[in-house]
């Protein structure tokens, strides 16, 4: 799959709550990085198995029900795309609405995600969960 096709498929998997399938898009040695990660939150997860474990309970934390906005920007490098994604859903624990924007820089090699740099607002994610103390160590 090309980078844009892989992103489109990944969004479908997120909406289907297929986190194992989503994690399966990463290369065996792939990385997901969180440059804005707050203290107590992993700044990087390395390897498909670790990414699968990291994402395993995501729908129990944030139940994404809709993609409000999705823009995929191609770059001069066909293996790199910039993705703008805004999602909406609920926080299952408490039923509070959840809406978050993400910007990701994604590198795809041989049809798999090699590197996924995810820029999101940890304060907004924490607020949806009820505060920073509820947030440390969870998936955003």
Kindly report, residue by residue over 61-76, the tens digit of the pLDDT.
Answer: 999 999 999 999 999 9
Give yes or no for a contact between 89 and 66, defined as CB atoms under 8 angstroms apart.
yes
Say which CATH number the domain at 62 has: 3.10.450.50
Question: How far apart, in whole angstroms, are the C-alpha atoms of residue 34 and residue 88?
Answer: 20
| Structural domains of the chain, count | 1
Residue 139 within a domain:
no
Higher pLDDT, 12 or 37: 12
| pLDDT level of residue 128 (50, 70, 90 thresholds) | confident
Residue 86 within a domain:
yes
Domain extent, residue 31, equals: 3-134
Cα separations in angstroms, 63 against 2, 25, 48: 27, 20, 22
Residue 66 within a domain:
yes
């Amino acid at each position: 799959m090309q980078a844009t096709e892989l992103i489109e498929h990944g969004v479908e998997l997120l909406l289907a709550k297929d986190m194992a399938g989503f994690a399966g898009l990463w290369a065996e040695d792939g990385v997901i990085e969180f440059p804005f990660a707050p203290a107590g939150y992993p700044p990087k997860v390395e390897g498909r198995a670790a990414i699968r474990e990291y994402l395993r309970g995501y729908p129990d934390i944030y139940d994404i029900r809709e993609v409000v906005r999705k823009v995929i920007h191609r770059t001069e490098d066909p293996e790199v795309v910039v993705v703008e994604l805004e999602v909406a859903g609920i926080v299952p624990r408490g039923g509070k609405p959840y809406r978050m924007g993400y910007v990701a820089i994604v590198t795809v090699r041989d049809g798999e995600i090699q590197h996924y740099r995810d820029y999101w607002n940890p304060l907004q994610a924490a607020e949806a969960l009820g505060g920073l103390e509820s947030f440390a160590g969870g998936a955003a």
